[in-house]
């Protein structure tokens, strides 16, 4: 077949093909372009024939073009290259060029197929930028991230922790984990189980929180271990400082409670010495005057004596409120039993006291238990009129004492109402918290009220002076 006919047929077939195609002579001039090539270069097909590769390829050099020509002519293979083409509008277009040498009669050409790879290049640049940013983050990470293979050999290692070990990250590759906890966690990960543990670094004198998990391929097969370690030394230091501060606050609060109890005791003794004894003397004197007065006088003296006795009773009640010396004399359970008997007399309800304490609580704990129980039972006496039963339970369990006070009275919304008064509830809560305990109250209208107090058998601070 005539060469010109073959060329015409090829150009006809390529003319409307979707792939940009052009033919170049040995000088790099276009001798043919199809419509797709003209469109991507933003020229007309005729306009393209006035161009050479040097006009559109910003990286073009004559030497490189001739070398490509000779290489393709000699090897009779296709060659792929990447460059940047400049379109008619001035737009720079990253381009992939596939070149192939061919002859048509006595003429030699390079057939070039081009592809716009702008999107791919943008994705590659974004990936490289993300990779660089990730590397920067990992290099500054207060810890390190790594992978190991199934033999627990480090295959990747990044992070600033290696600086503390006075080593480069690359020097760690090929080694295995050092600590027994690390080896154990890696072996668990190879079995499919993630682990979290703390590691005390002997070099940097800090603590790391370490997390290991299985490293899987795309078929979900475990191929190694992925690990992340973060320096939590400063956090641990802050936690210790916070614990010390909390302990100091508890110490101060415990000392305050002790001083308050001592002051209450002093006031109670002062009332006894100055008021109760004087009232008792007045009561005795009125009794001695009885035989020497008239009938009307005796009536007045009896009224006076009755009033003095009432005052004495109220004064002794105040003394007990200030400092229950009877707590030391009769003990916690006896006093709570008396409070329950008083409620039974006033409300007319059934009461029940269950106690399984194995040992007498520490003095501060015992005092706190009684004051909370006394305050709660006093509130029941005032506000739970109509209750059918009031129950107190005291249990000892694993170093804690649990006090429960339950009534089936009218109840109230413990979140909104103030039927018991915020002051009393806050006082009970503070007393429990001061010695390391907890206080909770629950209830609702028509369903009674329940108080649960948990106190340590030994207070958080003892021996405070």
Sign of the four-CA dihedral 58, 59, 64, 65: negative
Continuous segment of H or E residues that includes residue 86: strand 79-86
CA–CA distance from 370 to each of 243, 254, 355, 377, 418 (Å)?
A: 28, 16, 14, 10, 23
Note the pLDDT of residue 463: 37
All residues at 6 or more sequence positions from 80 whose CB lies less than 8 Å from its CB, including other chains: 96, 97, 98, 99
CA-based R_g, the chain, Å? 47
Q: Which residues, other chains included, contact 140 with Cβ-Cβ below 8 Å and sequence gap of 6+?
A: 160
Q: What is the pLDDT of residue 465?
A: 34
- What's the pLDDT at 453? 94
CA 187/CA 311 separation, integer angstroms: 79
The answer to whether residues 98 and 78 touch, using CB atoms and an 8 Å cutoff, is yes
* Contact in structure between 250 and 456 (CB atoms under 8 Å): no
In the prediction, which pLDDT does 366 show? 85
Residue 379 is predicted with a pLDDT of: 86
Any residues with CB less than 8 A from the CB of 142 and at least 6 apart, and which? 160, 161, 230, 231
CATH superfamily assigned to domain 123-231? PAS domain (3.30.450.20)
> Residue 289 has what pLDDT?
75
Per-residue DSSP letters for 424-440? Answer: HHHHHHHHHHHTT-EEE
Residues 6+ apart with CB under 8 A from 236: 207
How many CA atoms, within 13 angstroms, populate the side-chain half-sphere of residue 366?
18
CB 122 within 8 A of CB 94: no
Which residues, 6+ apart, have CB-to-CB distance to 207 below 8 Å?
Answer: 198, 199, 200, 201, 231, 232, 233, 236
DSSP H helix total and E strand total for the chain:
16, 15
Those residues with Cβ within 8 angstroms of residue 139's Cβ, 6 or more apart along the chain or in another chain: 158, 159, 160
Domain 330-456 adopts which CATH fold? Heat Shock Protein 90 (3.30.565)
Burial 311-322 (b: 16+ CB within 10 A, else e): ebeebeeebeeb
CA dist 153 and 151 (Å) reads 5
Contact 373, 336 (CB under 8 A): yes
pLDDT, position 18:
80
Q: Do domains 3-116 and 330-456 have the same CATH topology?
A: no
Other C-beta atoms closer than 10 Å to the C-beta of 348 total 11
- Give the residue among 218, 213, 216, 221 at the shortest CA–CA distance from 197: 213
- Give CATH superfamily name and number for 3-116: PAS domain (3.30.450.20)
Tell if the pTM clears 0.85, that is, is over it.
no
Structure-block tokens of residue 357: 């304490």
Q: Which two tokens stand for residue 81?
A: 């290259």
Domain residue extents for the chain: 3-116, 123-231, 244-323, 330-456
Please give the sequence-ordered ranges of beta strands (E in DSSP) within 159-291, or none if there are none.
195-200, 207-216, 222-231
pLDDT tens track, the chain, 465 positions? 455 655 665 666 676 778 899 989 999 999 999 999 999 999 998 999 999 999 999 999 999 999 999 999 898 888 999 999 999 999 999 999 999 998 888 889 999 999 999 998 888 888 888 877 777 666 666 677 889 999 999 888 877 655 555 566 667 788 888 788 889 999 999 999 999 988 887 665 778 888 999 999 888 899 999 988 888 878 888 888 888 887 777 777 667 666 666 666 667 666 766 676 777 777 777 777 777 777 777 777 777 777 777 777 777 666 666 656 556 666 788 888 888 888 888 888 899 999 988 777 777 788 888 889 988 888 888 887 788 899 999 998 888 899 999 998 888 877 665 545 455 788 888 888 888 889 999 888 888 899 999 998 876 554 333
């Amino acid at each position: 077949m005539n060469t010109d006919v073959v060329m015409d047929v090829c150009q006809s077939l390529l003319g409307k093909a979707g792939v940009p195609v052009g033919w170049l002579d040995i000088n790099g001039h276009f001798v043919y372009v199809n419509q797709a090539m003209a469109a991507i270069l933003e020229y007309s097909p005729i306009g393209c024939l006035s161009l050479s590769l040097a006009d559109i390829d910003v990286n073009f050099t004559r030497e490189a073009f001739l070398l490509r020509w000779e290489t393709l002519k000699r090897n009779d293979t296709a060659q792929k290259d990447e460059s940047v083409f400049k379109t008619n509008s001035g737009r720079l277009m990253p381009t992939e060029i596939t070149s192939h040498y061919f002859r048509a009669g006595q003429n030699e050409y390079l057939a070039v197929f081009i592809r716009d790879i702008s999107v791919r290049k943008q994705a590659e640049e974004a990936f490289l930028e993300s990779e660089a940013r990730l590397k920067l983050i990992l290099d500054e990470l207060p810890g390190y991230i790594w992978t190991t293979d199934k033999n627990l050999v480090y295959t990747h290692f990044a992070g600033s922790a290696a600086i503390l070990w006075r080593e480069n990250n690359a020097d760690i590759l090929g080694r295995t984990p050092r600590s027994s906890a690390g080896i154990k966690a890696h072996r668990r990960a190879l079995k499919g189980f993630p682990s979290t543990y703390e590691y005390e670094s002997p070099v940097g004198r800090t603590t790391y929180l370490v997390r290991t998990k299985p490293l899987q391929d795309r078929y979900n097969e475990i191929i190694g271990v992925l690990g992340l370690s973060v320096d939590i030394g400063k956090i641990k230091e802050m936690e210790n400082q916070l614990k010390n501060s909390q302990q100091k606050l508890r110490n101060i609060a415990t000392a305050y409670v002790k001083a308050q109890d001592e002051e209450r005791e002093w006031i109670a003794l002062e009332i006894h010495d100055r008021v109760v004894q004087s009232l008792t003397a007045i009561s005795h004197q009125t009794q001695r005057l009885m035989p020497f007065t008239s009938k009307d006088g005796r009536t007045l003296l009896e009224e006076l004596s009755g009033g003095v006795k009432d005052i004495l009773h109220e004064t002794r009640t105040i003394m007990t409120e200030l400092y229950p010396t009877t707590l030391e004399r009769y003990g916690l359970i006896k006093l709570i039993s008396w409070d329950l008997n008083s409620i039974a007399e006033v409300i007319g309800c059934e009461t029940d006291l269950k106690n399984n304490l194995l040992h007498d609580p520490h003095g501060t704990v015992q005092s706190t238990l009684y004051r909370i129980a006394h305050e709660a039972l006093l509130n029941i006496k005032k506000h739970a009129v109509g209750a059918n039963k009031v129950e107190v339970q005291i249990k000892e369990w694993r170093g804690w004492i649990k006090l429960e006070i339950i009534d089936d009275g009218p109840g109230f919304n413990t979140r909104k109402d103030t039927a018991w008064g915020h002051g009393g509830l806050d006082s009970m809560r503070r007393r429990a918290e001061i010695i390391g305990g907890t206080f909770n109250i629950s209830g609702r209208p028509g369903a009674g009220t329940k108080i649960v107090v948990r106190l340590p058998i030994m207070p958080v601070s003892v021996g405070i002076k």
